[in-house]
Amino acid sequence: MVLRLISVVILAVIVARVCNFVYVSGFHKPIYKQYPGPCRLVPGVDRGSEDITVSSEGLAFISSGLSSPRFVHDPQRHAEGVKGRILLFDYSHPEKNTTELSIVGNFSNNHFDPHGISLYQNPVTGETRLFVVNHLPDFKDSVEIFRFMEKEKSLYHLKTCQGEHMYSLNDVLAVGPESFYFTNDMFFTQGILRILELYAGMAWGGVGLYDVTDKILLQGMMFANGINMSPDGRLVYVAEFVRNTVNIYKRVPEDNSLIIQKVIYTYTSVDNIEVDKKTGDIWLGCHPALYTTIKHMENTTKPAASQVLRLRLSSNSDPYDKAELRQFFMDGGELISASSVASMYNDAMLIGSVTDRMVYCEIKTI
């Protein structure tokens, strides 16, 4: 009798988990085409543009060539031997498209597999530093810190940051010359256990802080993904990919700890978060039909749906009192598959993807 009751409860939990994952996968969602203005592909970027970050002068840095088996399961891509790169795009001259930044210093390009990136511009010295999540062989992760040499169009490697709490890195957010927040998307870094963690809906992802040493600040997240900060540095935004939320945290300046303020449900799988420095608007690269993205990761020739949302927090006394979600881009994979990031500068936008192309759009609609 007790055994039967336990069996029924376990079965109910399993059924609930399966149903929730089916729901999150987005089978029920129609995908219509929607562009905010004229859109075009950026030539030369066709093996991913997973994260984009833009400086205050309109220089956009793009990480390209993500091929870690943790995310990309297409054997064709692995056989191809995609090379990790950091590309540069100038919003002031979009017709010039991208140039590849050479990497100099004591750093081996053979193990460069870039994922999330973040820019730190020192207001005093004017130095620009690029922080890059790097997936090393054997499923080890690091954050590489580079100095951007604008004249030479190169990245000078300064430091490799590793730590026992930096085990499943996805994105990074720089808050100082050598300090940053990072997201661990899951607990297991590889293999069948990682797949089980994802499909079982376990909430073992988290956010950590690196500042001389690394520590975990937040846990209990379902696939912590993109992370970013408000222009005044007061709020930190974290995307929970599988829970379909953007979490808003208040940042405590004394010790950089984070206090949850609000959870915004987006009804889509939010990947990376970009913040418009001028307006504070939050731009989300999303996967509106997650099942198409999962298929796409197994075979990158299959199209996956792409979506860009803008999250605007009300500017009342509590800036997060009201939240408006507006859709600016949607595509079934004809133009771009599995969008992961949208970077906005003035009236233009770059949309990056995990393993696919990159799109440049002028924004005409409001």
CB atoms near residue 231 (< 10 Å): 12
Interface pattern 37-56 for another protein (x via CB under 8 A): xx------------------
Footprint of another protein on residues 261-320 (CB under 8 A)? 263, 265, 267-268, 309
Question: What is the rounded (10 degree) CA torsion for 285, 289, 291, 292?
Answer: -80
The residue range among 13-21, 111-119, 156-164, 204-212 that interacts with another protein, by the rule CB under 8 A, is 13-21
**Closest Cα partner for 356 from 53, 83, 45?**
45
Of residues 264 and 297, the one with the C-beta less far from another protein: 264
CA distance 263 to 256: 20
Contacts of 326 (CB under 8 A, 6+ apart): 309, 310, 312
Show the binding pattern over residues 168-197: x = contacts another protein (CB under 8 A), - = does not: ------------------------------
Q: Judged by CB, which is closer to another protein: 119, or 264?
A: 264
CB 30 to another protein: min, Å: 3
61, 328, 345, 360: which one binds another protein (CB under 8 A): 328
Using CA atoms, how far residue 350 sits from 31, 90, 127, 330, 364, in Å, is: 20, 11, 24, 14, 14
Select 34 or 92, whichever has its Cβ closest to another protein. Answer: 34
The tokens 């992370």 sit on which residue? Answer: 227
Q: Does residue 33 belong to the site contacting another protein (CB under 8 A)?
A: yes
Q: Which is closer to another protein, CB of 15 or CB of 200?
A: 15
Q: Supply 17's token pair.
A: 């988990």
Listed ranges 36-44, 62-70, 76-84, 95-103: which one lies at the site for another protein (CB under 8 A): 36-44
User: To 10 degrees, the CA torsion angle through 321, 270, 363, 35?
Assistant: -130
- Closer residue to another protein in complex, CB, 252/263: 263
Residue 115 annotated among the catalytic residues of the structure: yes
CB of 260 to another protein, least distance (A): 11
Nearest distance from C-beta of residue 306 to another protein, angstroms: 13
Stretch that binds another protein, among 23-31, 51-59, 136-144, 274-282 (CB under 8 A): 23-31
Closest C-alpha to 50, from 362, 330, 356, 310: 356
Whole-number Å distance between alpha carbons of 226 and 240: 8
Asked if 133 and 161 count as a contact pair (C-beta separation under 8 A), the reply is: no
Q: Does 25 sit near another protein (CB under 8 A)? A: no
User: Which tokens sit at 93?
Assistant: 């001259």
Q: Does 210 bind another protein (CB under 8 A)?
A: no
Query: Which residues from 230-259 bind another protein, rule CB under 8 A?
Result: 243-245
153 binds another protein (CB under 8 A): no
Instruction: Report the alpha-carbon distance of residue 332 to residue 32 in Å, rounded.
Output: 7
Beta-bridge partners for 239: 246
Would you count residue 199 as binding another protein (CB under 8 A)? no
326 binds another protein (CB under 8 A): yes
Nearer to another protein, 217 or 323 (CB): 323
| Least separation in angstroms between CB 40 and another protein | 13
Mode of pairing for the β-strands spanning 102-104 and 154-161: parallel
> Residue written as tokens 């059924």?
15
For residue 29, report the phi and psi dihedrals to the nearest 5 degrees. Answer: -90, 130
Rounded to the nearest whole angstrom, what is the least distance from the CB of residue 68 to another protein in the complex? Answer: 29
List 93, 115, 165, 296, catalytic entry: 115
For residue 141, list its beta bridge partners. Answer: 135
Residue 223 main-chain phi, psi, to 5 deg:
60, 70
Residue positions annotated with a catalytic role: 115
**Residues of this chain that bind another protein (CB under 8 A):** 15-16, 18-20, 22-23, 28-30, 32-38, 243-245, 263, 265, 267-268, 309, 324-328, 330, 364-366
